[in-house]
Amino acid sequence: MKNRVVITGIGIVSPLGLNRQSTWRSLVAGESGVAPIASFDAEGYKTTIAAEVKDFDAASFVGRKEARRMDRFVQLGAVAALEAVEHADLSITEENSTRVSVMIASGIGGIITLSEQVGVLGSRGPSRISPFLVPMMLPDMASGQVSIMLGARGPNYSTVSACSSGADSIGQALEVLQEGDADVVLAGGSEAAICPIGVAGFNACHALSTRNDDPKGASRPFDVGRDGFVMGEGAAVLIMETLQCAIERGAKPIVEVVGYGSTADANHITQPAPEGEGAARAMKIAIHKAGLQPDEIGYVNAHGTSTPLNDKYETMAMKGVFDEEAYKVSISSTKSMTGHLLGASGALEAAITSLALAEETIPPTINLHNADPDCDLDYTPNVARQGRIDAALSNSFGFGGHNASLAFQRYED
C-alpha cells in the first residue's frame, strides 16, 4: 500500500511578496505584480514590462558570501526553502538527513549569470571569467545549494521540463514519498530569467505581451484582448512528507497531495496540441491516481498563460475532462497577477492551490473583462470567492509539449 503524502510547509518568494502570507494577501485582493522592468534598461525592446520580485536581498537570509556565489534563481529558491522549513517546523538532523530529499526545479537555470559572463568574455577575455560561472548557471543548483545549506542527504535532483518543471518536481516527489524512498521532500521550483537575453528571446518567438502602456492589465488570461504572457520570476518550495512522518513529529498537514499526471503532446515545440488533448490526458491521469471522480474537483488553478492558443485549448481540455460539469468548476489563472514564472510557475501555483483549499478561498483571474467566446467557463473573474473546496487540480504545460497536472485534497484524519 502506498504512503499517503501531505504538505506541512510552504515557502514563497513572488512578484506579489517575499513570503507566503504577503503573496496570498495580494492574490486574494486581486493585485498585480506587473510593472515596467527595473532590473535593466528595456528601452528599444518590444516588451518593457515584467513581474519582478521587488526589494529582495538574499544576503539577509543566506549571508553575503554565499549570496555572491548564487545566481538569482538559486537565491530565490534558497529563501523559499528556508521559509518552508520554518513553516513546517522541520529539523534536519544527522539521524534523519538521509531520509530528507530536495527536488527544486528550474526550466532555464542561471541565465543571468551566463549572459553576464558572456559579456565579460567579450570585453575582458577568457581569463576573467568567474570560476563560479558553471556551478551558478546549472539548473540543478537551487536543489544542490539547498541540500548543502540544510544538510539534506536524500535523493537530490532538478526536473527540467520548461514551464512544467515545478509541477513535475512535485509530482516526482509525490511518487518518491509514496514508494517510501524518502520521508520528507523539499519540492518546488525557482526561476529568474528577466534579463536582456531572456526578454529578447521570448519576444523573438512572439510569446510576450506588448501591452507596455498598461502593465497591470497586460496579463489577461481568457480575455478576448489577451496578446501574450508576462514574464515573472520567483520561487515556491513545499515541504512534502509521508503522513506517518508528519504524525510522528507532530506536524500539522495543510493539504494532502493525491495525484499526478504527466503526458506529452508530441505536436510542436511551442504550440499546445489541438483541443488540449495532452492536457486533458494529464488531468484525467491525476484524477484517476487520486482515486477521485471528475465531479469531485471543485477548483482548477489553470495554466492560463494569457496566450491565444493556450487559454482556448486548456478550456477545451477541461471540457473534455469534466463534460457538462465543467461549467460548475471554479477556475482561475493566478498568472493574471504573478505573471508567468516559467519553470517555477507550477510550484507557485501548487502552493496557491494548497492555500486555496486550506483557506477556503478561490483567488480570482484579474483583467477578465471581456471573455473570449471560446473561453466560456467560470474563471472567477476579478474578485476572489469564498467557499469550501474538497479537491483541486493545478495545471502546468510547457514548451516541448510537456503537460503536468497535480491533484490535491483536503486533509482528513
Q: Catalogue the active-site residues.
A: 163, 303, 340
| Burial status of residue 87 (CB atoms within 10 A of its CB: 0-12, 13-18, 19 or more) | buried
Closest by CA position to 348, among listed 51, 36, 147: 51
CB-based contact 342:166 (threshold 8 Å): no
Q: What angle do CA 6, 7, 8 make, to 5 degrees?
A: 115
In the structure grid, which three cell numbers stand for residue 335, read together?
A: 498568472
Sort 304 into a burial class: Cβ within 10 Å, 0-12 / 13-18 / 19+.
buried
> Checking DSSP bridges between strand 299-301 and strand 391-398, what pairing results, if any?
parallel
Q: Mind giving me the DSSP string for 123-185? A: HH-GGGS-TTHHHHH-TTHHHHHHHHHHT--S-B----BTBTHHHHHHHHHHHHHHTTS-SEE
Measured between alpha carbons, how far is 8 from 238 in angstroms, rounded to an integer? 8
Q: Round to whole Å and give the CA distance between 396 and 301.
A: 9
